[in-house]
Amino acid sequence: MRLIPLNIQPEWKVLISGSLYYEADPRLRGEDMVEVRLANGLLISCGWYPEGQIDGCYLITVSEGLEFVRSPIELDNINDARQVIETMASHYSQDFYSNSHTSSTENLSEEFVA
Q: State pLDDT tens for residues 14-58.
A: 999 878 998 999 999 999 999 999 999 999 999 999 999 999 999
Q: How far is CA 62 from CA 26, 43, 44, 85, in A?
A: 24, 6, 5, 9
CA 98/CA 75 separation, integer angstroms: 28
Express each pLDDT in 79-93 by its tens digit. 999 999 999 999 998
Beta bridge partners of residue 67, listed in sequence order:
64
Longest CA span, the chain: 45
